[in-house]
Amino acid sequence: MTKLILIRHGQSTWNAANRFSGWVDVPLNRRGRIEATLAADKLKDYQVDVCFTSLLVRAMETAVICLTENEQICNGKSPVIKHNSDELQWHGWDQYEGKAFEELPIFTSMALDERFYGDLQGLKKAETAEKLGKELVHQWRRSFSVRPPGGESLSDTMNRTLPFFKERIITHLKQGDTTLIAAHGNSLRSIIMELDKLEPEEVPNLELATGQPIVYDVDEQGNVSNKLILN
């Protein structure tokens, strides 16, 4: 058995303003940084071997705070962000790494990015619901297959998140690596649907609090034997 730790990023500036964020790269606010720091304390009894985040700064900030605010989590290793030059076109930055002595890699991928909200991005949720109708906006936000205008459905998000999870992340779990994923409400919903064997109609009731770690016990085949929410 090994541990898989999921955490939705701490509160962002647009979470606080109740705006649709999607792929807009907004940072954590003060409360979000505190939530991530508290999460680090909740994870003090775990030693992480590898971390995955999205490309969005609010997820990366959460991962870094979790791994640096409590030294026990890293077990003496130094977190190092592994930039993907092919994905980001960052002029080969992955070639400028130091020697990998006692490092804890943080891998970033757009596959873990938040759901793309299209035309809704930047709009306030309550005002949009009042203008266009609460039921329609609720469908856009929580249904499995309905897309917001110009955006992704949860099904679309799952179709990019789950292949990455199965091909890239489960490999580490099979090796016995305690793995941390810091991502977003909807990209994590996709993974939780797979782990908890949920049906699409169960998705609207799946709520994830910001900055709250969820710990799974996972075997070599990727099967879950236990789930713990760290309140």
What pairs with residue 124 in β-bridges? 19
What pairs with residue 82 in β-bridges? 107
> Does 69 participate in catalysis according to the annotation?
no
Query: By the 8 A CB rule, do 50 and 105 touch?
Result: yes
> Does 138 participate in catalysis according to the annotation?
no
Q: Determine which one of 114, 152, 172, 184 is catalytic.
A: 114
> How far apart are alpha carbons 39 and 154 in whole angstroms?
26
Which residues are known to be catalytic? 9, 114
